Structure 1
Amino acid sequence: MKQAIIIITLLLHVLWSCNKGIEADNQYLRGRLFLLDTITQSSNGIPIANRKVLLTIPGDSLNYLYSTKTDADGYFSFTLLADGQNEFILRTFDSTKGYIYQSRKEVKRGQTNVVLVEQLDETLQNGFVLKTTDESGNSLQGTKVYFYKSLSLAVQNSPAGAVDSFMSIKDGKLYKLRVTPGLYYVNALKTIDTATFQRSLKQIIIPSTGFLYDSIQLNRKITNYRNGFTLVVMDSLGGFVPNASVYLYNSQVLAASNSPLGVFESFPTDNLGKKTRYDLPAGDYYINVSKVLSDTIVYHSLVNKLVLPSSGFINDTIIVKRKR
C-alpha cells in the first residue's frame, strides 16, 4: 500500500512538472474556429466543430508540424511545439456542398485566445454576389434576373434566350459560385401590385477567380394605361372583404346564371378587399362576387353592372350580403 502511494505521488509530480514546463516555456497555442459566410448561408461567426486545424511554419505551405481537430464548440489547442520556433501559421481547408472554405492566420507561441475565421476561398473558385434594389436603394426580394451571353438576345428580353435565371432572396441578394467567366448582359424585373420595376442590359464581367460584388438598380417603369377599373368589396357593416372571388362577365344572362363556364375573367381581392384591372375592351360588364367562410356561411353579390369606357378609369364599391 505504501509503495503504491509513493508511485502515485511520483507520477503526479512528473505531470505537474511537465505542465508547469509547458506553461512556463509558452509551449502551447489555443484558440477557436468560426465560420463567416453571409453569401451561401447566414453564418456570421458560428463556431465550427470537428474541423481539422493545421499548424505550419511561415514559408512552407506544403507541410505542417501538427494537426488537431476542433471540439464541439470550435475550440482547438496545440501543445509541445517545436523548440526554437516562435512564429506559426494556422490553416484550415474544407469543402461543404461543393463550396471551398479556407482560413489562415499568423500566430505566435503562447497565444491563448486566437480567433481563426474560415471563409469562402476566393483564390480557388469564382462567382458573383449581386443585390437588387429600387431607385432609393431599398432591396427588392423576389426579383427575376436573367443572364444573357448574347447582346441581341438580351435586347429581345426573352427568358428563353437566357443562359441562366435567378430569383433574388432575402435582402434582394442572389449569388452563384463556379460560373463560366466572361461578359454577361443582365435583365431584371420585379412587379409589386400594379408597379413594375426593371433594369435592362446591365453589363457585368465575372472573373476567372474571385467574386464579383455588384448591385442591380431597377427603375420604376412608367406605364400609360388606356382604361381600367378598381373594385372594393365590402360587407354590409363597412368592413373590407379580403380574398373574395370576383367573376367578370360580358353577358348579363350569363352573370344572372352565375355559371363559372361563362366567366370572362376571375380574380381574388387583395388584403384590403381591392382589385384593379387595366386595358380591357370597352363595354358593359357584369360582376358577381362571392366570399365563402364555411359550408353554411356564404356572402355574395350578383349582376353588378359596370360600364367601362374606351378611355378612362372607373372606381366602384360592391357590397356583399350573407346568402340566405
Structure 2
Amino acid sequence: MLTDTLTQRVIKKPLGKKTVTVNFSDATDNTNFLHSTVTDDNGYFKFEQLSDKGKYIVYYSETVDNKLYSATSEVISLPNESTDLVATLASNNQFGVIFDISDEDGQRLGNADVCIFTTSIPLTKNGCDGSSFSLKSDANGNASQFNLSERHYYIFSKIVINGNDYISRDTIKIGNGILKKHISLKAIPPVSSNNLAIVAIDVNANVLANATICLFTSKALFARDTCEASNYSLVTDSGGKGSFTNLLPGKYYVLGTLYLKNFRLMAKDEVNIENNKTKDPLPLVLK
C-alpha cells in the first residue's frame, strides 16, 4: 500500500493512480526495473509472476509542484509478503529548505512571513521587499522553498500578534539535499526615542553640507571604509547637521565621507547609544 505524509497529515493519505516499480534488491540500476504497476484508488498495488526465490525492493518516485517525492520499501522476500510505502520529500537530488516557525515557547505559528534574501539584511529591514522568495507558513507553522542554488541565504521572518511584532533574522547555507531549519520568532520591544545628532566639519571647523554619514553595528563592515551594507545613513543639511532617530541601544560605528573635486574627506568614530539618555551632537571632523 502507498500512502503519504506530504502535508504533515496525522493520518496518512492513500495515493491512488501512482506508478510503483519493483526490482531485485541487489540491482544497481533502478532505471531498468523488473515490473511496474499502478495503485488503485485506495493506494493498493500488487506484483505477480515474481520468483519466490528472489529478494526485491519496491520504489515510488514523482515530482509534484517542482518537489521530488519518493518511497522505498525494505527488502522483501517471497512468498506472501506485503509492504507499506510512505512517500516523503526526497532528501537527495534536490536543493531546498523546509522551515518550521514557532514562538519562544515552541508554539507553532501559521501565517508568518518568511523572506529569503541573497544579500545581507539591514537592521532596518522590516518586510519582504527586495527578497528573492516570499513565503507564508501554513497552519502547522511550516513553509518551504525548493530549486535553490548552492549558496548562503539570509532569512527574515515576521508575524504580528495583537499589534506586537515578532521577528527573526538568520542565515542558512544550501547544499545538496533538503535543509530543515527551525525559526523562533521573538517579540520586539517598543522602539525607543534614542537619537544621535551629527555635525560634519572640516579641520578648520567649517560645517560640511552634503556629507554622507553612515552607522554600522558590524565592525568588519565598518572597516571597509564604504557605506555599503551600513545599517543607517543620511546626508547632512546646509548646516552640516544630520540626526538619526529611534536607534536601538548598543554600539555604533560612525563613518563620514565627502567628495570635493578629486579629494575624498573621511572621518571615523564610534558611539554608544543608551535608552532614554540624551547625547550632545557628535562633531565629526572630516579630513
Alignment partner, residue 240 of structure 1: none
Residue of structure 2 in register with 1:183 after alignment: 152
Q: 2:26 aligns with which of 59, 69, 72?
A: 59
Deviation at 1:104, TM superposition (A): 1.4
**CA–CA separation in structure 1 for the residues paired with 2:21 and 2:107:** 43
Structure whose alpha-carbon radius of gyration is higher:
1
Post-superposition shift, 1:133? 1.6
Contact 2:92–2:178 (8 Å) recurs in 1? no
What's the CA shift for 1:161? 3.0
Q: Which residue of 2 aligns with 1:157?
A: 125
CA RMSD of aligned residues (A): 2.3
1:124-143 CA-to-partner distances (Å, cap 9, x unmatched) read 21211112222111122222
String of CA shifts for 1:122-171, please: whole Å, max 9, x gaps. 222121111222211112222222222212x4444163332222222212
For residue 170 of structure 1, the aligned residue among 139, 160, 163 is: 139
Aligned to 1:94: 62
Give distance in 2, aligned partners of 1:99 and 1:92.
14
**1:76 corresponds to which residue?**
45
SS in 1 for 2:84: strand
Cα distance between partner residues in 2 of 1:161 and 1:155: 14
Distance 1:213 1:69, change over 3 A: same
Identity among equivalent pairs (%): 22
CA distance in 2, matches of 1:93, 1:133: 31
TM-score (normalised: structure 1): 0.53
Residues 154 and 162, structure 1, Cα contact 8 Å, conserved in 2: no
- Which residue does the alignment assign to 1:109? 78
Q: What is the distance in 2 between the residues matched to 1:96 and 1:71?
A: 19
Equivalent in the alignment of 1:127: 96
CA 1:94–1:162 in 2, change beyond 3 Å: closer, same or farther? closer
2:123 and 2:71 map into 1 onto residues whose CA distance is: 43
Q: CA deviation at 1:37?
A: 1.1
Aligned partner of 1:198 among 151, 167, 188? 167
* Number of equivalenced pairs: 189
Where does 1:234-253 land on structure 2 (aligned, <5 Å)? none
Query: Following TM superposition, by how much is the alpha carbon of 1:43 offset from its aligned partner in structure 2, in angstroms?
Result: 7.7
Deviation, structure 1 residue 59: 2.9
- Aligned partners of 1:69, 1:171: CA distance in 2, in Å? 31
Q: Which amino acid aligns with 2:63?
A: S
Deviation at 1:67, TM superposition (A): 2.1
Q: Deviations over 1:98-122 (max 9, x none)?
A: 3222221121111343112222222
Q: Match for residue 147 of structure 1?
A: 116
Show the 5 A alignment for 1:214-233: 214-223=181-190
The AA in structure 1 aligned to 2:172 is I
Whether the 8 Å CA contact 1:54–1:68 is kept in 2: the answer is yes
From the two aligned structures, give the one with the greater helix fraction: 1
**Cα distance in 2, alignment partners of residues 53 and 140 from structure 1:** 36
Distance in 2 separating the partners of 1:101 and 1:191: 33
* CA-CA distance at 1:223 after TM superposition: 0.7
TM-score (norm 2): 0.59
Matched, 1:37 2:1: no
